[in-house]
Amino acid sequence: MDLKEKNCLVTGGSRGIGKSIALTLAHFGANVAITYARSEEAANEVVKEIEEKGVKGLAFQADAILFEKAEEVISEVVKQWGTLDVLVNNAGITKDNLILRMTEEAWDDVITTNLKSIFNYSKAATKPMMRARGGSIINISSVVGISGNAGQSNYAASKAGIVGFTKSFAKELASRNIRANVVAPGYITTEMTETLNEKLLDAIKQETPLGRPGNPDEVANTVAFLASNLSSYITGETIRVDGGMAM
């Protein structure tokens, strides 16, 4: 896989799956910019690791819910590197509760952070990608967006929304050679999932045909494929990386 000369932006690249995506894209030769919300030190460390691979790195403190900030970040990447070829919308949160107990705030926070952010960054990426006559957008959803999950109605709605948004975006921008795809991970070991109790973890393993949680690199490799020219005829697709969980 060769991503040399590609300039990429990964939202939420300071930790977990986003960090792994950023380092994997850099490993295959891309310049990689990341955004983060709070973890400045971790984000700077990721940039250092990116640069150690002999490519360029950048970090931006940018809350993904902010519409105008998205345009600012993407303009800065284009100003510094000339183009934006790959956008990975990865930033996401959970605020789980049963619907009976879910607050309006928990609903709004998750929908805004996970779904509106994707509109913010995809819209801002469209113009530079049209100018460059091509691009690849990869949106990180979840198998929960496909199958639903008790206690995660806000999260599942946001992740299902990503699939509908991506297909619409793919249809609108295909004539401009801009592709958009979804990666839907199953249970992946990160800080987001480390608070799950043993009983739930056992249940997840039993529901996963491959019998184990995934690791962030397994998601990142699929993202790298979709970022690369090897996937040049794939758009509007959702690829599950879930050990068979939602099969």
Selected binder of ligand NDP within 75, 193, 221, 238 (CB under 6 A): 193
Ramachandran region, residue 46 (left: φ > 0; alpha: ψ -120 to 50; beta: rest): alpha
* Candidate residues 74, 88, 91, 170; the one interacting with ligand NDP per rule CB under 6 A: 91
**Which of the stretches 6-14, 48-56, 77-85, 128-136 binds ligand NDP when contact is defined by CB under 6 A?**
6-14
Partners of residue 181 on adjacent β-strands: 138
Residues 6+ apart with CB under 8 A from 87: 8, 9, 74, 121, 122, 125, 135, 136, 137, 138
The CB-side HSE value for 49 (13 A sphere, CA atoms) comes to 18
Our answer to whether residue 155 is catalytic in this structure is: yes
Distance CA 218, CA 221 (A): 5
- Residue 157 to residue 159: CA distance in whole angstroms: 5
End-to-end CA distance of the chain: 27
Q: Does 63 bind ligand NDP (CB under 6 A)?
A: yes
Determine the interface stretch with ligand NDP among 49-57, 63-71, 169-177, 201-209 (rule: CB under 6 A).
63-71
**What is the closest distance, in whole angstroms, from the C-beta atom of residue 82 to ligand NDP in the complex?**
24
Question: Is 90 an interacting residue with respect to ligand NDP (CB under 6 A)?
Answer: yes
Mask: binding to ligand NDP, 14-33, rule CB under 6 A, as x and -?
xxxxx---------------
The catalytic position among 121, 155, 187, 233 is: 155
Asked if 12 interacts with ligand NDP (CB under 6 A), we say: yes
Report helix, strand or coil for 86.
strand
DSSP at 179: E
Question: Site for ligand NDP (CB under 6 A): which residue of 157, 188, 223, 239?
Answer: 188
Enzyme catalytic residues: 155
Question: Which residues sit at the interface with ligand NDP, rule CB under 6 A?
Answer: 11-18, 35-39, 42, 63-65, 90-93, 113, 140, 142, 185, 187-188, 190-193
